[in-house]
Amino acid sequence: MFQTWLFQIAIFLFVLTVIAIPFGEYMAKVFAGEQNFLSPILVPVEKFLYKIFRVDPYEDMDWKTFAVNLLLFNLVGLVALFLLQEAQGFLPLNPEKLKAVRWDTAINAAISFVTSTEWQSYKSETTMSYFTQMMGFGVQNFLSAATAMTVAVALINAFVRKNMVGIGNFWVYLTRSLIYILLPLAILLSLILISQGCVDNFKPYVHAQTLEGREQIIAQGPAASQIAMKQLGTHGGGFFTANSAHPYENPTPLTDYLELLSLLIITAAFPFAFGALVNNRAQGWALFIAMMLMLIMVLGCALWSESQGNPLFTNLGVHHGLNMEGKEVRIGTMASVIFTTASSATSAGAVNASLDSLMPLTGLVSIFNMVIGAVVFGSIGLGLVGVLFYAILSMFLIGLMIGRIPEIYGKKLEPYEMIITVIALFLPCVVQLILGSIAAVTRVDGTSLSAHGLTEIIYAYASSIINNGSAFNGLNSNTVFYNLTTAFAMLFGRFTIIISALAIAGSIVQKKINPLAVRFPTTGLLFVLVLISVIIINGALTFFPVLVLGPILEHFSILAGQVV
């Protein structure tokens, strides 16, 4: 059985690669403004949008102007989403007559969706109306993903251009991300999900009688469209509380496969888009191979851990096998582990099983995927940005070791770039550990601090700071403390990496490219191995103490027959 799953995983990764290569080339054409197969239809639409919003598509923004436009755009979205939640009781498409959302929950949700985190401390079915889900969260699913894509393209531009100031036009990249990439894919995936039984309606909730004679309320709603973008945009927020374990969100094996593929497709295509835009496809292949090797490593660890079963069940006389606790029976253990690993690797946060029921080392893998910056393909756009930060750090270390001036992709690395890189990679880690320490010491959720409890706290702030959004169900996060601290973590994590990326882009774009310099190759296997090593060592050294006290201690306690 295990060998069968390994074969299926190999086929899945092969399909992902085969799709990502041409899709990355297509994305490069879109952002470069070149002709593509959708141009005859969408170029007039693009021009019309520039006209009605009074955007000059030929304006080349410096990094500060780019950043100001991006921040103001997100601020408007945040305020609008908060107000929408507070007014939903008076708005249409609210058949369950849901009232205004509690203020701290509304702040958390607004920040969550604007930062592409979709951390949901509330129960969706009993908190948010259809109108809020569609016009608030659904819209932000698109806009937050497109925002991240603009940052990635701006950073790529910095490596392509020389002796310039401008890194591109925020509004142009935002528009092209939306109409050429996100909307077509979302429409296609939505239709497929609907055809497989995913609901998409405005009906009131169904009140059914169970075999025991009790009443069961079955939620309805316009789910398919939001589910499509939650996957494609690496968001993860479920229309229903159970997320992709819910049969209305993930009804068949085909939808499970497509949702898993959707988590990875755009992020996997970005390295190939990078290679095409810098006119050196080998550079893109090197980044893709590094990401793919890391995905295979973390996936292998998670599959091994979950396939061993829970030793505590053996002591009770239960057969020692796959850990089925917390898994949807129709999905199973292996598919759940693959989905969980991919969602934490991409910072998507979508789940088709209970994370609280994972074996400790499986949970450790998910935490590790996030604390390294979610760069195992990572979130849409910012996953590539994170890998480029690590590539800059790697080339700096290589330069020190071989005695050469550090540079990457022909651009010299100076103290300014290294300071910004260190800020982007390590400052979110520091904030995450501080917030987690406060939560652990104060125990604001009222639970005892055990190894598993510490793991829940570690996971919560790792998920928030890296804009993942998933959580262990055992943590009572819908409190004022957690809503406000996780909201701060989401904002800090999101905009630290965005501003850092734009600041580096603004510096690198002004540098010249020295084609005659003898440089360390960034297309070979040695560079890939160094890049992977730097990523792993960073995560291991930074978070080793808390991981030991959390999931690792829990693992050895379970082996010893103890519950912690």
3 state SS of 13: helix
Residue 215 DSSP one-character state: E
Q: What is the pLDDT of residue 448?
A: 64
C-alpha dihedral (117, 122, 125, 128), degrees to nearest 10: -70
329: left (phi over 0), alpha (psi -120 to 50) or beta: alpha
**Considering only 49-53, 120-124, 515-519, which range has the smallest mean pLDDT?**
515-519
Band (349; pLDDT cuts 50, 70, 90): confident
Give CA–CA dist 247/62, Å, rounded.
47
pLDDT at residue 118, as a whole number: 84
Q: How far apart are CA 262 and CA 242, in angstroms?
A: 19
317 and 563 Cβ atoms separated by less than 8 Å: no
pLDDT score, position 225 = 85
- 13-18: average pLDDT: 95
**Where exactly are the structural domains of the chain?**
2-208+216-559
DSSP bridge pairs for 206:
218
State whether residue 61 is helix, strand or coil.
strand
Share of the chain above pLDDT 90, in %: 57
How much is the pLDDT for 182? Answer: 96
Residue 1 confidence class, pLDDT cut points 50, 70, 90: low
Q: Is the confidence at residue 320, as pLDDT, over 60?
A: no
Q: What pTM, to 2 d.p., does this model score?
A: 0.94
Q: What integer is the mean pLDDT of 400-417?
A: 86
Kindly report which listed range (265-274, 362-371, 495-504) carries the lowest average pLDDT score: 362-371
Residue 173 burial (10 A CB sphere; 0-12, 13-18, 19+) = buried
pLDDT of res. 352? 86
472-499 confidence digits (pLDDT tens): 877 888 889 999 999 999 999 999 999 9
Residue 563's pLDDT band (boundaries 50, 70, 90)? low
Rg (CA), the chain: 23
- At residue 450 the predicted structure's pLDDT band, cuts being 50, 70 and 90, is confident
Residue (of 341, 305, 339, 340) closest to 323 by Cα position: 305
d(CA 538, CA 372): 7
Residue written as tokens 């999931």? 551
- Rounded distance, CA 22 to CA 2, Å? 32
In this structure, the number of other CB atoms found within 10 A of the CB of residue 52 comes to 7
Sign of CA dihedral 458, 461, 464, 470: positive
- Please write down the HEC assignment for all residues of 509-520: CCCCCCCCCCCC
Q: Which of 146, 140, 142, 166 is nearest to 31 (CA)?
A: 146
In angstroms, what CA-CA distances link 358 with 6, 102, 120, 364?
20, 31, 20, 9
Q: What is the mean pLDDT of the chain?
A: 89
Mean pLDDT, residues 67-91 taken together: 96
Tell which residue, 410, 501, 388, has the closest CA to residue 162. Answer: 410
Strand partners, 209: 215
Residue whose structure tokens are 């057969």: 319
- Of the candidates 291, 243, 286, 296, the one whose C-alpha atom is nearest the C-alpha of residue 266 is 291
What average pLDDT does range 423-436 have in this prediction?
92
Provide the pLDDT confidence category of residue 119 given band limits of 50, 70 and 90. Answer: confident
Residues 6+ apart with CB under 8 A from 34: none
pLDDT at 314 over 70: no
**Angle in degrees, CA 264, 270, 275, rounded to 5:** 145
pLDDT of residue 518: 59
Binned at pLDDT 50, 70 and 90, residue 354 comes out as confident
Q: Give the integer Cα–Cα distance in Å for 135 and 348.
A: 21
pLDDT value at position 151? 97
CA 183, CA 250: separation in Å to the nearest integer? 21
Q: Which long-range contacts (CB under 8 A, 24 or more apart) does 551-557 make?
A: 551/360, 551/361, 551/363, 551/364, 551/367, 551/451, 551/455, 552/360, 552/361, 552/364, 553/451, 554/360, 554/450, 554/451, 554/452, 554/455, 555/359, 555/360, 555/361, 555/364, 557/451
Token pair 């022909």 is found at 410
> Residue 216: beta bridge partners?
208
* Residue 168 β-bridge partners: 61
